[in-house]
Amino acid sequence: PRLGRDRARAVSDARRMFFDRGVVPAGLVGDTVLASWQRCRESGLDPGERPDPDIPRRDVLDTLLEQRRTLVCAAMPVVQAIAAQTDGDPNIVLLTDTAGYVLAVAGNREFAVQARRREVRVGILLSETARGTNAPGGCLHEGKPMMVHGGEHYLAMYAGFACSAAPIHGPQGDIVGTIDITGDAQVLQPYPLAFPRMAAELIEQQLFRRTYPLHLLLRFHSRPEYIGALGEGLAVLAEDGGLVAVNRSGLRLLRLRDEQVRGCAFDAVFDARF
């Protein structure tokens, strides 16, 4: 509890220095959060304003969800599983696309109502330029997991939230969205980044299967007992044995980069004949 109070006091001091006096509060908030604050200020966002939600029309939203169908279908079992496991806590699980549009929301009903009052719902854009410093938006900008707690949010309207997000990578290695866990900052600390990271990896495994349903799928690991678990390698193969894609875990196991394996023959990458 004392650590939580000390952190809240440091963030409060940082906000006064940054927003009221125009001083860079080095050491009071993380470098990633501070860099986000500076970007948001440069973009003209007012920390005290409540931006227009600008939710897409129903037909536009339906088109967006249809375009992201593969991602949504791959992610929903994971989103629902996390929501079910953490339903006793005041939090929700969010899925966004690569632009920051929220594609799905699941979790504690009471907290979901609170979040909706602050326009956190399907269709809202959570990019930094639209909603200031927040975990999904910062995660998309930085390309890595991000945690934002309470007053670290640029917009004061989100100071009651604690969120942790990780990027979701597609089969070609590009970021296709984020998975985020947002909770009540008065009750919870942000979930450890390992949690959304693991969720993102599970979604990525499903994306491989759904993106290439007619290709051969090779599952591999240096330790056989890890097959079927988080961290396993996945390689998508054409009928002639050419490598179409390898997931990030697989690239780490092979100690190769994506451009070094894509299009290569199986025999050139693996110590075995196709």
Round to whole Å and give the CA distance between 159 and 143.
23
Reference 68, options 99, 94, 92; nearest CA is 99
Question: Could you read off the pLDDT of 145-156 as tens digits, one per residue?
Answer: 999 999 999 999
Residues of the chain with pLDDT under 70: 1-5
Round to whole Å and give the CA distance between 181 and 137.
13
pLDDT in the model for residue 4: 57
pLDDT in the model for residue 173: 87
pLDDT in the model for residue 1: 46
Alpha carbon of 261 to those of 5, 52, 249: distances in Å?
Answer: 49, 45, 13
Beta-carbon count within 10 A of 253 CB: 18
